């Protein structure tokens, strides 16, 4: 187990009595113990966590993660990262949230598709499915991202646009395709230019990018989601650990990052500056855009209790099927990032959720 523990709280902690300092020193131990036990037992191969509450920071690596800087496959935490890049074009006046997608993808029409807006793509209300019916076939053939786009443009809608909420990776793909057509840049390059470089995320990339293969943690695909092969030996050439998937640059699920980098990304929304997006655009991304009868969603971000953080809709973040979770709480200025290699569907409750719950408990005791 490798640890980087930085605990400081400005002048208030520097002059605090020893007893108070000791209490604060152990404030995140309950969450950390979950990952220590999970990796010691072999349930989780590798994990890292990064917790920040105001000026207190705790980060630690477990199991096969020899350093807190190890990069994990984020799964769907890739979505808000990709949408942040897309929203840079909103900043530039290239599109409005209520613009119809067909204005940018002329072939995206018929069966109500021409009514779908950019906002609906980013809030999972477009009617597009999560995964394509031909997902496994495309991955087995090592198809380029453009073929997923072509199929997503043609795939039948599940419901009339705006009629309900249904989580959709393909909607995020098409939002990213709009950005690609506007800029003539692959979404992976746009993410690097708009998100990674300005925020100095040196261990983050959509796809492998400039990261070194040896720094990437292996996913425990034996318990993975069906769309990723679920550990079937015949899917080894296209599962989460394959060179194909790692290099695809799929905006809905192939970002790699360290826990510290994910925390830095979230912090750019907690305390927005002009570094990545205009502050008002950053705030727009973490506001609920769905009606009261639907699940609350920001633009690319999940909101509220589904994150296993504080149960308020101003809490924002995302989870990933690869075994990851991150959230930020504006009320307490807290960031929680837990990255593991154990797929989210492998066990209930998942260690990431237990860690998150322990963090919430520690915050509630102090407030």
| Mean of per-residue pLDDT scores for the chain | 91
pLDDT, residue 29, reads 87
The confidence band for 222, taking pLDDT boundaries of 50, 70 and 90, is confident
**4-10 long-range contacts, Cβ below 8 Å, gap at least 24?**
4/59, 4/60, 4/61, 4/68, 5/58, 5/59, 5/60, 6/57, 6/58, 6/59, 7/56, 7/57, 7/58, 8/55, 8/56, 8/57, 9/54, 9/55, 9/56, 10/55
Query: Does 230 or 48 have the greater pLDDT score?
Result: 48
**Cross-strand partners of 5:** 58
Query: Mean pLDDT over residues 103-128, rounded?
Result: 97
Q: Which domains does the chain have, with CATH numbers?
A: 2-93+186-366 (3.40.710.10)
Query: Does 94 or 3 have the greater pLDDT score?
Result: 94
Query: Mean pLDDT over residues 1-25, rounded?
Result: 38
pLDDT, residue 367, reads 60
Q: What pTM was estimated for this model as a whole?
A: 0.92
Query: Mean pLDDT over residues 305-326, rounded?
Result: 93
- Among residues 133, 121, 124, the alpha carbon closest in space to that of 96 is found at 121
What are the residue ranges of helices labelled H in the chain? 10-14, 18-25, 29-40, 78-91, 118-123, 135-140, 145-154, 169-183, 187-191, 197-199, 243-248, 259-270, 279-285, 351-366
Report d(CA 81, CA 87) in Å as an integer: 10
Torsion of CA 291, 293, 297, 298, to 10 degrees: 20
């Amino acid at each position: 187990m490798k640890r980087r523990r930085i605990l400081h709280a400005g002048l208030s902690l520097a002059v605090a009595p020893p007893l108070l300092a000791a209490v604060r020193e152990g404030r995140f131990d309950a969450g950390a113990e979950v990952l220590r036990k999970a990796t010691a037992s072999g349930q989780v191969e590798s994990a890292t966590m990064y917790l920040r509450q105001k000026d207190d920071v705790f980060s630690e690596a477990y199991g096969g993660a020899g350093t807190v800087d190890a990069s994990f496959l984020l799964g769907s935490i890739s979505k808000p990262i990709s949408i942040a890049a897309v929203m840079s074009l909103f900043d530039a006046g290239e599109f409005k949230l209520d613009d119809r997608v067909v204005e940018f993808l002329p072939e995206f029409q018929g069966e109500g598709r021409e009514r779908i807006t950019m906002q609906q793509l980013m809030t999972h209300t477009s009617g597009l499915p999560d995964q394509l019916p031909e997902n496994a076939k495309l991955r087995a053939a090592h198809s380029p991202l453009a073929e997923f786009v072509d199929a997503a443009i043609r795939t039948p809608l599940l419901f009339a646009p705006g009629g309900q909420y249904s989580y959709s990776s393909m909607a995020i793909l098409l939002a990213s395709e709009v950005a690609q057509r506007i800029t003539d840049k692959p979404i992976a390059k746009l993410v690097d230019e708009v998100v990674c470089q300005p925020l100095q995320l040196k261990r983050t990339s959509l796809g492998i990018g400039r990261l070194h293969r040896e720094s990437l943690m292996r996913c425990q695909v034996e318990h993975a989601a069906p769309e990723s092969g679920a550990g079937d030996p015949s899917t080894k050439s296209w599962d989460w650990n394959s060179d194909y998937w790692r290099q695809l640059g799929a905006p809905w699920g192939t970002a790699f990052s360290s826990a510290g980098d994910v925390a830095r990304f979230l912090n750019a929304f907690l305390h927005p500056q002009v570094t990545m997006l205009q502050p008002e655009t950053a705030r727009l991304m973490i506001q609920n855009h769905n009606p009261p009868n639907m699940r609350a969603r920001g633009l690319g971000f999940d909101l509220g209790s589904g994150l296993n953080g504080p149960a308020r809709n101003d809490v924002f973040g995302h989870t990933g099927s690869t075994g990851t979770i991150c959230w930020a709480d504006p009320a307490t200025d807290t960031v929680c990032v837990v990255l593991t290699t154990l797929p989210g569907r492998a066990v209930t409750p998942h260690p990431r959720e237990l860690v998150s719950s322990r963090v919430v408990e520690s915050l509630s005791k102090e407030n």
